[in-house]
């Protein structure tokens, strides 16, 4: 950082140096120099140097280009993960990619495709009563049950806090309903250990089949309608839409 003291010092040194330089140059050229000429030249040089230093001070300290870039551009680390750390299944991004891939294949080759949305009933009540750790254990347990029950090409992903999406390629609605109904029964039959007690969890499920000209929004909206109808009908059931 350049301060007032260093600015004055440089100006004085420039004053003296400029005077000496003019004397030497005058002597070499055999040109007689008056004191006024020497002083005037030195003053002009000192003024120029002072102006430069003042401008440099106003501009701030010199910062290397790399340092400037580091200061002005924050380090961004976008999250590109596709796996849910709790259930070890695809997260919302991952399962959405799987659905879009399956839709593209269905559109191109005319293959059937069904998806299901599974919403755990009253999981928030478990969290409130026993804590979030108990809810997390149930989520992980449900994911393990569904993963084990699905076929090899099928996929499950955690779509939201207490929701899972199932993708079933090469599967028409009737077969998809049978698969999802069996999965739902397995979940309802499981006894989850919650704070030393056996707890039962159920799910409201919607299942639908991909239709010609469906986009992602229309497909997900339709399967959500099935979930809503299952809730309205008393939960712990599968609804085809």
- Residue-level pLDDT at 212: 85
- Residue-level pLDDT at 105: 92
**Out of 8-12, 39-43, 215-219, 231-235, which region has the weakest mean confidence (pLDDT)?**
8-12
Are residues 192 and 232 both part of a single domain?
A: yes
pLDDT band at 60 (very low <50, low <70, confident <90, very high): low
Per-residue tokens: 179: 């698969």
- For 188-233, the DSSP string reads HH--EEETTEEE---EEEEEEE--TT--HHHHHHHHHHHHHHHHHT
Residue 197 lies in a domain: yes
Are residues 41 and 158 both part of a single domain?
A: no
Are residues 22 and 114 both part of a single domain?
A: no
Question: Is the pTM value of this prediction over 0.85?
Answer: no
Are residues 101 and 30 both part of a single domain?
A: no
Start-to-end Cα distance in the chain = 72
Of 19, 40, 72, the residue that ends a domain is 72
Count of structural domains within the chain:
2
Are residues 58 and 108 both part of a single domain?
A: no
- Predicted confidence (pLDDT) at residue 10 exceeds the cutoff of 50: no
Are residues 155 and 225 both part of a single domain?
A: yes
pLDDT band at 22 (very low <50, low <70, confident <90, very high): very low
Close Cβ partners of 98 (under 8 Å, ≥ 6 residues apart): 90, 155, 157, 167
Are residues 60 and 101 both part of a single domain?
A: no
Are residues 194 and 114 both part of a single domain?
A: yes
In three state form, how does the secondary structure of 56-76 look? HHHHCCCCCHHHHHHHHCCCC
- Residue-level pLDDT at 101: 96
- Residue 115 is part of a domain; what is its CATH number? 3.30.70.270
Residue 125 lies in a domain: yes
Residue 85 lies in a domain: no
Angle at the Cα of 25 from the Cα atoms of 23 and 30, rounded to 5 degrees = 90
Residue 183 lies in a domain: yes
Residue 142 lies in a domain: yes
- Give per-residue pLDDT as tens, 103-142: 999 989 999 999 999 999 999 999 998 899 999 999 999 9
Domain span at residue 175 reads 92-240
Are residues 99 and 33 both part of a single domain?
A: no
Average confidence (pLDDT) over 74-88: 78
């Amino acid at each position: 950082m350049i301060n007032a003291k260093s600015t004055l010092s440089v100006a004085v040194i420039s004053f003296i140096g400029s005077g000496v330089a003019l004397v030497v140059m005058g002597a070499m050229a055999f040109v007689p120099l008056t004191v006024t000429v020497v002083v005037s030249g030195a003053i002009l040089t000192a003024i120029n140097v002072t102006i430069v230093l003042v401008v440099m001070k106003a501009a701030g300290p010199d910062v290397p280009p790399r340092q400037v870039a580091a200061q002005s551009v924050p380090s961004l680390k976008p999250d590109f993960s596709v796996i849910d750390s709790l259930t070890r299944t695809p997260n919302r991004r991952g399962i959405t990619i799987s659905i879009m891939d399956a839709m593209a294949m269905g559109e191109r080759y005319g293959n059937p495709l069904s998806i299901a949305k599974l919403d755990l009933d009253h999981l928030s009540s478990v969290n409130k009563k026993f804590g979030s750790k108990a809810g997390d254990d149930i989520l992980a347990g449900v994911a393990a049950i569904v993963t084990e029950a699905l076929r090899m090409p099928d996929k499950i992903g955690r779509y939201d806090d207490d929701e899972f999406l199932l993708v079933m390629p090469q599967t028409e609605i009737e077969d998809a309903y049978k698969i999802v109904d069996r999965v739902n029964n397995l979940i309802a039959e499981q006894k989850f250990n919650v704070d030393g007690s056996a707890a039962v969890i159920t799910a409201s499920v919607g299942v639908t089949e991909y239709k010609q000209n469906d986009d992602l929004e229309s497909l997900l909206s339709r399967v959500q309608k099935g979930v809503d109808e299952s809730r309205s009908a008393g939960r712990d059931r599968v609804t085809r839409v």
